[in-house]
Amino acid sequence: MSGGHRALGPFTVSAIGLGCMNVSHAYGGRPDRRDALRLLAEAVELGITHFDTAALYGFGQNEELVGEALAPFRSRITLASKCGMTGINGKRVIDGRPETLRRTCEESLRRLRTDVIDLYYLHRWDKVVPIEESVGALADLVTQGKIRAVGLSEVSTSTLEKAVSVHPIAAVQSEYSLSSRGVEKSLLAACARLGTALVAFSPLCRGLLTGAVTEATAFAPGDIRLAMPRFQQPHLAANVALATMLRQVAAALDQTPAQVCLGWLLAKGPHVLPIPGTGRRQHLVDNAGAGSAPLPSWALARLETLFAVGAVSGDRYPPATLAEVDED
Question: What are the residue numbers of the active site?
Answer: 57
Burial 61-89 (b: 16+ CB within 10 A, else e): ebbbbbbbbbeebeeebbbbbbbbbbbee
Whole-number Å distance between alpha carbons of 131 and 267: 31
Radius of gyration of the chain (CA): 18
The closest of 25, 37, 44 to 68, measured between CA atoms, is 37
Positive/negative CA dihedral, 40, 198, 320, 162: positive
Question: What does 115-165 look like in DSSP terms, one character per residue?
Answer: S-EEEEEESS--TTS-HHHHHHHHHHHHHTTSEEEEEEES--HHHHHHHHT
Q: Is the distance from CB of 50 to CB of 8 less than 8 angstroms?
A: yes
In three-state secondary structure terms, 180 is strand
Measure Cα distances from 249 to 64, 245, 246 in Å.
39, 7, 5
Beta strand pairing status for 18-19 and 50-52?
A: parallel
Alpha helices in the chain (DSSP H): 33-45, 61-70, 98-112, 131-143, 157-164, 187-194, 235-253, 257-266, 281-288, 297-306, 319-324
Beta strand pairing status for 91-94 and 85-88?
A: antiparallel
The CA-to-CA distance between both ends of the chain, in Å, stands at 34
Residues 6 or more apart whose Cβ sits within 8 Å of residue 156: 187, 326, 327, 328
Dihedral of the CA atoms 99, 95, 171, 23 (nearest 10)? 110
